[in-house]
Amino acid sequence: MRKNFQTLLIAIMITALLVSGQIAPLVQAESDQAESSQAESAVGSLQLLEQSYTEKLQEWSDVPNIKESQIVVSPSEVKANTGLTVPQRDSFGYNGETVRLDKDTKIVVDVNVNEAGLYQLAFDYYIVDDSILPTEGYIQINGQYPFYESRRILFPSLWENKPLSEQWDRYGNELLPGSQKVKKWQTVYAMDASFFQMEPLKFKLEQGANTITIVNKQGKMLLGNVTIETPTEIETYSNYLESQPVVDESIKKVEELLITEAEKPLYKSDSSIRAVSARESRLTPYDTGKLLLNIIDPNSFKEGGQSLSWELEVPQDGYYHISFKYMQDKLYDLPVFRRIELDGAVPFREMDNYAFHFTKKWRNETLGDEKTPYQFYLKKGKHTLAMTVNLSNMRPLAEDIVSKMKEISRITLEIKKLTGNKSDQNRDWNLLEYMPELDQQLLKWADDLDQRYAEIGLLNPEVEEIGEIVNLKLAAKQLRSLAKEPDKLPNRLNLFSEGTASASQLLGTLLQSISESPLALDRIYVAQEEKLPSPNAGFFEKLWEMVKRFFLSFTNQSYSSASKAEGELEVWVNRPRPFVELMQKMIDEKFTPKSGVAVKLSIMPDENKLILANASGTQPDAALGVSNWIPYELAIRGAALDLRQFEGYEESVKRFSKGSIIPFSFENGVYALPETQNFWVLFYRQDILDSLQLSPPDTWNDVVEMLPELQRLGMNFYEPLALYKGFKPFNATTPFIYQFDGELFDDSGMSTDIDSEQALEGMKFMTDLFTIYNLPQDVPNFYHHFRYGTMPVGISDFNTYIQLKAAAPEIAGAWKIAPHPGVEKADGTVARWAPSGGQTGMIFEGTKYAEESWEFLDWWLSTPTQVEFSNLMQTTFGMTFMWNTANLEALEQMPWPEEDKEVVAEQFRWVREASRVPGAYMVEREISNVWNRVVFNGDNPRTAIDDAVVRINREILRKMEEFGYYANGRMIKKYPVPTITTIDKWVEKK
């Protein structure tokens, strides 16, 4: 018992170190003499490389405040930076010499301070390149990272809406403008990149000489002066008023209401912030029959640190009220917060973190306290008003959620070690013997969550319950329920840590929610006396609008397939409206004038309608965004056009991965080309692996070798099979078959080949990963586990890549991707075969315009078009709208990080989709059944596969008979199973 208690005590102490940081701590394994081998195997020995900023501030709490001080240093004057100096004439108007920082360039700044203390750092900088990627780097003080957040420091770009050559689309709707960088000198403080901290970061400098190292990891910029200064307090509103001039009351006040349209900002900090059309008559501008951009899209203005600025102009000196017409209906009962600045500075403390409360209707919010509007003194002329997303109120809750999720993961691992990773409803466990304080720990977590709920409730005391954070109460309730019978926890992990309804998942979902702060804006009012107009329409006005829209719906058919002009190519697109608008604009401006072929795009609400449309004879000429399984289903039924017949096919197909063409092949034809392409690659937390002295795995043997160390420390490896409950699709199972040189079908296509020795070896390893090596069997969200470090390495796809880029700023720069782990062959090469999925473009058999359709499809999938569309997508909608083109040549020119493009390009060499034959769905189903039988039931792999082969072959022959390849017990004609070799031969000879 004493040994068990020692084990638990060590576990708690170590985990406390691990989880006490903010969002993304780093760990380092060290050799340690544990009191027992059991304790060592359970938790290992860890220590943080760097503390979080929150921890560091607590450590520095006794550092005395020092008198106000400011030191300005020019890096160009430091001898170590001589080779990077840019003369003043080439410094874009800067008053002095600068230094140039390209990718991976380092400069040092030497500074002497009279007193040891906490200082803030500010930088003058000028973004040189036009890349949409953010410019970012890191900071070290005296050769060390002072805290984790110093590993990523942003130098934000400034953006503005790009003027359009044509403001309206072919239907009279307003087009969304793209974004372009504003090239000008800016000043920025070193800030927390996640913006859960909204104050500038503080750095401790020692008395005397200090060295500040700045390294640029992405982008290109010029750096001017570096300012080292002591923190200052923002004055209160009362002090602000006392410091402003007295206005002559005899001067007549401005009676006019000064209006600024919020959807037309002067500048924005992020290219993704955009306007959108909302259909409410009191919004401006508004038209019943047309879509006009009239509000800031709340889904684009929600990330911490995002900002908008507008230009205001007042006719005379005086005090003014400022109001925003807004709606915040995304975070239920919870306010969102914004920092408000005038002319580049927060005017008084109350504007640093101003609340915009939940409302389902549009509301006029005049900035003020509960009783009185604030007065802002403005001189005659132009002023800049800025608004920045502030998440600092959510920081304590976010840190606590991450801490609890890591603790839950740790205890889950301990339970699985004790139970052999098996659950059995008929078996009793005595967990309290091994984890004597488990029930009290669960109750304490529940109390902590209730306390956080009460604290957040103070942000909106007018409501009894805040719906947006109800997951806190639900998670606390589940933890209390589990604490009543802790010995039953091994059989109730679905309520604790696994599955969508578990306490861990409830907290993870809430964390994502509170990391966003959406706000819709229509107008900004500046006034002295004028009353604000009503923000919402009355009952009769709304009724009249509904009537008008009803009758217009019979004639207004934009981007629908209801009407088509004679001689016009009709293309259905399975993409959202903003994508289709952008595509139609490119076609009208680039393709039609050059080719003379008019093209009408229509939004495809459901791609299954393609099959129905073919049956009814209403199919389009071509389609884009089609799932890669549909072209084969249409081709085998004679509804798709063979693209090999067209001139230029051989050149066109060379742009794509050979293995991605396989599912579009039927007999001797190719019936689609890939438009987009997914990728399955290795994701790994470089910070964690480095600290554990582990390398990212290159082969499956490497994966197996690293598992003991990961699992010893409460971590694990993620394999995508854990994502799918029950049915395991081809994209999760075929890598194991192809990498081990197995095949799905024999050469005739009449039977499966999964019972070959190679396929058996691959499928046995696929199940061994879960039965012998203890990979987690159910992981509904790898993103969360990767973000919080419980699964610091695993295989995932393009969607995870986007998620991490968009919604995990605190670990940006701490993770990387590498090619898919594979099987090393005798010649030293590593077979990394994996599927790609994605979407396709195809032409229908019934088209009257076959040549025109091919000309359009070839143009759309060409390298210049794909590159232009990708750039437009990201400059119009933001970084997260990355276009995963299937065109390999275009991929090289995508605005992605270069090292990531190299990994994706390498993995695209190993793309291999499953061949399609009649009855292939049965192979997919039975391979899934084999995994379930072996992993869950403990069946022998050979027995499970033999049983599957019987069922598969029976179904294949039945389908072959249906399509005329088999009759009366014999093969009528051979079914050619497409392979990469087949695709190669077709390119060589039509």
Quick: pLDDT tens for 848-857.
Answer: 999 999 999 9
> Which has the minimum average pLDDT: 26-35, 579-588, 653-662, 937-946?
26-35
Give CB contacts under 8 A, 24+ apart, made by 167-170. Answer: 169/558, 169/581, 169/584, 169/585, 170/584, 170/588
Q: How far apart are CA 130 and CA 219, in angstroms?
A: 9
Q: What is the pLDDT of residue 554?
A: 67
Q: How far apart are CA 361 and CA 98, in angstroms?
A: 50
Per-residue confidence band for 988, with pLDDT thresholds at 50, 70 and 90: low
Q: Quick one: which of 398, 397, 401 has its CA closest to 503?
A: 401
Q: Quick one: which of 902, 858, 888, 813 has its CA closest to 152?
A: 813
- Residue 729, pLDDT > 60, answer yes
Q: Which residues pair with 769 in a beta bridge?
A: none
- Contact indicator for 792, 710 with CB cutoff of 8 Å: yes
For the stretch 124-174, pLDDT in tens is 999 999 888 889 999 999 999 999 999 999 999 999 998 877 788 888 889
> Which has the minimum average pLDDT: 223-232, 248-257, 298-307, 908-917?
248-257
Q: What is the pLDDT of residue 973?
A: 87
Q: What is the pLDDT of residue 490?
A: 87
Amino acid at site 904: V
Per-residue confidence band for 6, with pLDDT thresholds at 50, 70 and 90: very low
Q: What is the pLDDT of residue 47?
A: 41
Query: If you average pLDDT over residues 518-524, what whole number do you get?
Result: 97
Could you please report the per-residue DSSP string of 728-755? --HHHHHHHHHHTT--SB-TTSSSB-TT
Superfamily holding 68-229: Galactose-binding domain-like (2.60.120.260)
Query: What DSSP designation does 872 have?
Result: H
> In terms of pLDDT, which residue wins out, 541 or 818?
818
The residue ranges of every structural domain in the chain are: 68-229, 237-284+307-391+522-534, 569-672+841-895, 681-836+912-988
- Residue 474, pLDDT > 80, answer yes
Superfamily holding 681-836+912-988: Periplasmic binding protein-like II (3.40.190.10)
Contacts of 260 (CB under 8 A, 6+ apart): 310, 311, 312, 385, 523, 524, 526
CA 387 to chain centre: 24
- Contact indicator for 179, 127 with CB cutoff of 8 Å: no
Same fold, 569-672+841-895 and 681-836+912-988: yes
For the stretch 494-512, pLDDT in tens is 889 877 788 988 998 898 8
> In terms of pLDDT, which residue wins out, 460 or 388?
388
Exposed e or buried b per residue across 106-144, where buried means at least 16 C-beta atoms within 10 angstroms of its C-beta:
ebbbebebeeebbbbbbbbbbbbeebbbbbbbbbbbeee
The topology (CATH level 3) of 569-672+841-895 is: D-Maltodextrin-Binding Protein; domain 2 (3.40.190)
- Contact indicator for 842, 626 with CB cutoff of 8 Å: yes
- Contact indicator for 971, 767 with CB cutoff of 8 Å: no
Helix 941-962 with 757-771: angle, nearest 10 deg: 130
For the stretch 790-799, pLDDT in tens is 899 999 999 9
Count of C-beta atoms within a 10 Å radius of residue 315 = 10
Count of C-beta atoms within a 10 Å radius of residue 250 = 5
- Contact indicator for 88, 219 with CB cutoff of 8 Å: no
Give the SS3 label for residue 480: helix
Exposed e or buried b per residue across 500-521, where buried means at least 16 C-beta atoms within 10 angstroms of its C-beta:
eebbbbbbbebbebbbbbbbbb
- Residue 959, pLDDT > 60, answer yes
Could you please report the per-residue DSSP string of 1-44? -HHHHHHHHHHHHHHHHHHSSSS---EEE-----S-HHHHHHH-
> Which has the minimum average pLDDT: 1-10, 330-339, 608-617?
1-10
> Which has the minimum average pLDDT: 325-329, 409-413, 800-804?
409-413
CA distances from 570 to 305, 361, 587, 689 (A): 43, 40, 12, 52
Exposed e or buried b per residue across 147-161, where buried means at least 16 C-beta atoms within 10 angstroms of its C-beta:
bbbbbbbbbbbbbbb
Question: Rounded to the nearest 10 degrees, how much is the dihedral formed by the CA atoms of 37, 43, 47, 52?
Answer: -170
Query: If you average pLDDT over residues 722-726, what whole number do you get?
Result: 90
Q: Quick one: which of 307, 983, 870 has its CA closest to 644?
A: 983
- Contact indicator for 370, 177 with CB cutoff of 8 Å: no
Could you please report the per-residue DSSP string of 546-579? HHHHHHHTTT--TT-SS---TTPEEEEE-S-HHH
Give the SS3 label for residue 937: helix
Amino acid at site 356: F
> Which has the minimum average pLDDT: 156-165, 225-234, 582-591, 651-660?
156-165
Q: What is the helix (H) or strand (E) element at residue 186, kind and residue range?
A: strand 186-189
Q: Quick one: which of 797, 841, 846 has its CA closest to 583?
A: 841
- Contact indicator for 931, 728 with CB cutoff of 8 Å: yes
Q: What is the pLDDT of residue 983?
A: 86
Query: What DSSP designation does 885 have?
Result: B
Measured over the CA atoms of residue 59, residue 62, residue 65 and residue 71, the dihedral's sign is negative
Contacts of 234 (CB under 8 A, 6+ apart): 346, 348, 349, 352
Burial label, 424 (beta-carbon count in 10 A; 0-12, 13-18, 19+) = exposed
Per-residue confidence band for 758, with pLDDT thresholds at 50, 70 and 90: very high
Query: If you average pLDDT over residues 241-269, what whole number do you get?
Result: 92
The token pair at 569 is 């190519």
- Contact indicator for 530, 255 with CB cutoff of 8 Å: yes
Question: Rounded to the nearest 10 degrees, how much is the dihedral formed by the CA atoms of 371, 377, 378, 379?
Answer: 150
Q: How far apart are CA 295 and CA 754, in angstroms?
A: 56
Q: What is the pLDDT of residue 986?
A: 82
Per-residue confidence band for 67, with pLDDT thresholds at 50, 70 and 90: confident
The token pair at 476 is 């606390």
Q: What is the helix (H) or strand (E) element at residue 378, kind and residue range?
A: strand 376-378
Count of C-beta atoms within a 10 Å radius of residue 91 = 20
pLDDT above 90 covers a percentage of the chain that reads: 67
Phi and psi torsions of 157, nearest 5°: -85, 160
Longest dimension (CA), the chain: 106
> Which has the minimum average pLDDT: 535-549, 674-688, 846-860, 893-907?
535-549
Give CB contacts under 8 A, 24+ apart, made by 81-89. Answer: 81/107, 81/108, 86/222
CA 847 to chain centre: 39
Count of C-beta atoms within a 10 Å radius of residue 781 = 17
Question: Rounded to the nearest 10 degrees, how much is the dihedral formed by the CA atoms of 277, 281, 283, 288?
Answer: 40
Q: How far apart are CA 617 and CA 848, in angstroms?
A: 13
Count of C-beta atoms within a 10 Å radius of residue 655 = 20
Per-residue confidence band for 563, with pLDDT thresholds at 50, 70 and 90: low
pTM: 0.82
> In terms of pLDDT, which residue wins out, 427 or 843?
843
For the chain, give the mean pLDDT: 89
> In terms of pLDDT, which residue wins out, 472 or 40?
472
Burial label, 257 (beta-carbon count in 10 A; 0-12, 13-18, 19+) = middle
Query: What number of CA atoms fall less than 13 Å from residue 493's CA on the CB side?
Result: 23
Phi/psi class of residue 738: alpha, beta or left (left: φ > 0; alpha: ψ in -120 to 50)?
alpha
Q: How far apart are CA 119 and CA 79, in angstroms?
A: 24
Q: How far apart are CA 775 and CA 26, in angstroms?
A: 22
Give the SS3 label for residue 174: strand
CATH number, domain 237-284+307-391+522-534? 2.60.120.260
- Contact indicator for 469, 509 with CB cutoff of 8 Å: no
- Residue 34, pLDDT > 70, answer no
Q: Which residues pair with 204 in a beta bridge?
A: 118
Q: What is the helix (H) or strand (E) element at residue 180, kind and residue range?
A: strand 179-181
Query: What number of CA atoms fall less than 13 Å from residue 3's CA on the CB side?
Result: 8
